[in-house]
């Protein structure tokens, strides 16, 4: 089922077109990557989805109906620029933000108790936000974003300020939210994270979508017929195009390029005839490589 549809959205500012006919579809219970270099138009699109600003033309639909400001209650938005009040105590502020989202004080307290215990941050309740590190404040804002269990979550660079351990924790939390029924739009510059979390993506560049689709299919479509082979002995060139070869602890790792007209099975048969093959894997380009190639071209 489709949760969110953006159709032919245009947004013009003085002397600058921020979005130029942007369309995308986000299915329920998925993590959708919204990618692009700085200034591409991602934040403008996110602001339009959140009804912070309106498109000049085009339409945004939630559950098949044109979005209205009332629908924002079904969205949880974690912006890149954080918005906690530094002088307020953490617990007081979290309760306030939860009630702004329509939760009763009692329900908010129960939900906050669950999340604060889950993240082991009960001791932060009476601290002022200004006493927290960037990563600690980020955890608090993550909690206030998901607390009211919105249908749609929008995370803009959610791992900013986190060390690798906490980044991994937050990745697991995002996937758990998806598994519990949330739909997530995920905006980031970290392409490794995109490969870990996102099923589908749209890449925005210079106000337009320049690449869109399933992550696995996009990587496969950019394949260069390059393979890495593990073997017991060195592979001689012959009619096999070697790119590199190295040996470690008696195992040879060879990177080679297949003729596009040749099947994978035919290449593997050649390799088996000249060595004992231990592993055989196609090297697909990373999303980072694809991102750079698409944007620069």
Per DSSP, 235 falls in state P
> Which residues, in sequence order, are CB contacts of 288 under 8 Å at separation 6+?
191, 192
Q: What is the C-alpha separation between 142 and 138, in angstroms, rounded? A: 6
pLDDT score, position 133:
85
> Which residues, in sequence order, are CB contacts of 160 under 8 Å at separation 6+?
80, 134, 138
Q: Which two tokens stand for residue 137?
A: 């404040």
Domain residue spans of the chain = 2-220, 224-285
Q: What is the C-alpha separation between 292 and 282, in angstroms, rounded? A: 21
Q: Which residues of 28-47 are buried (b: 16+ CB within 10 A; e: fewer)?
A: ebebbbbbbbeebbbbbbbb
pLDDT score, position 105:
93
Q: Going residue by residue through the chain (297 aa), what tens digit of pLDDT does each one get?
A: 899 999 999 999 988 899 999 999 999 999 999 999 988 999 999 999 999 999 999 999 999 999 998 999 999 999 877 678 888 999 999 999 999 888 999 999 999 999 999 999 999 999 998 998 888 888 999 999 999 999 999 999 888 878 888 889 999 999 999 999 999 999 988 888 899 999 999 999 999 999 999 999 999 999 999 999 999 999 987 788 999 999 999 999 999 999 999 999 999 999 998 899 999 999 999 999 999 999 998
pTM above 0.75, yes or no: yes
Q: Are 32 and 200 in contact (CB under 8 A)?
A: yes
Q: What angle do CA 50, 51, 54 make, to 5 degrees?
A: 130
Q: What is the C-alpha separation between 25 and 57, in angstroms, rounded? A: 17
Q: Which two tokens stand for residue 250?
A: 């008696």
Nearest CA-CA partner of 281 in 225, 241, 202: 225
pLDDT score, position 83:
76
CATH code of the domain occupying 224-285: 3.30.70
CATH code of the domain occupying 2-220: 3.40.50.300
pLDDT score, position 89:
93
């Amino acid at each position: 089922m489709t949760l969110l549809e953006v159709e032919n959205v245009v947004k013009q500012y003085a002397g600058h077109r921020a979005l130029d006919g942007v369309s995308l579809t986000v299915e329920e219970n998925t993590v959708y990557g919204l990618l692009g270099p700085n200034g591409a138009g991602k934040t403008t699109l996110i602001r339009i989805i959140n009804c912070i600003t309106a498109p000049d033309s085009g339409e945004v639909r939630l559950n098949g109906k044109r979005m209205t400001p009332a629908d924002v209650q079904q969205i949880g938005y974690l912006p890149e620029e954080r918005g906690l009040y530094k002088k307020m105590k953490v617990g007081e502020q979290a309760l306030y933000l939860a009630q702004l989202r329509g939760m009763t004080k009692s329900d908010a307290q129960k939900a906050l108790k669950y999340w604060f215990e889950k993240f082991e941050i009960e001791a932060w309740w009476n601290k002022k936000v200004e006493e927290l590190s960037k990563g600690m404040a980020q955890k608090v804002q993550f909690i206030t974003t998901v607390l009211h269990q919105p249908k749609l979550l929008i995370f803009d660079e959610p791992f900013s300020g986190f060390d690798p351990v906490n980044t991994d924790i937050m990745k697991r939390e995002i996937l758990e939210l998806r598994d519990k029924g949330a739909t997530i739009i995920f905006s980031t510059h970290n392409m490794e994270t995109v490969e870990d979390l996102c099923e589908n993506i749209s890449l925005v560049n210079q106000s337009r979508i320049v690449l869109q689709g399933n992550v696995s299919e996009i990587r496969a479509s950019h394949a260069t017929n390059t393979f890495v082979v593990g073997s017991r002995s060195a592979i001689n060139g012959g009619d096999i195009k070697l790119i590199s070869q190295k040996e470690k602890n008696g195992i040879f790792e060879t990177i080679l390029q297949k003729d596009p007209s040749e099947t994978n099975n035919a290449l593997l048969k050649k390799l088996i005839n000249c060595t004992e093959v231990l592993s055989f894997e196609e090297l697909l380009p990373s999303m980072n490589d694809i991102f750079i190639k698409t944007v620069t071209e």
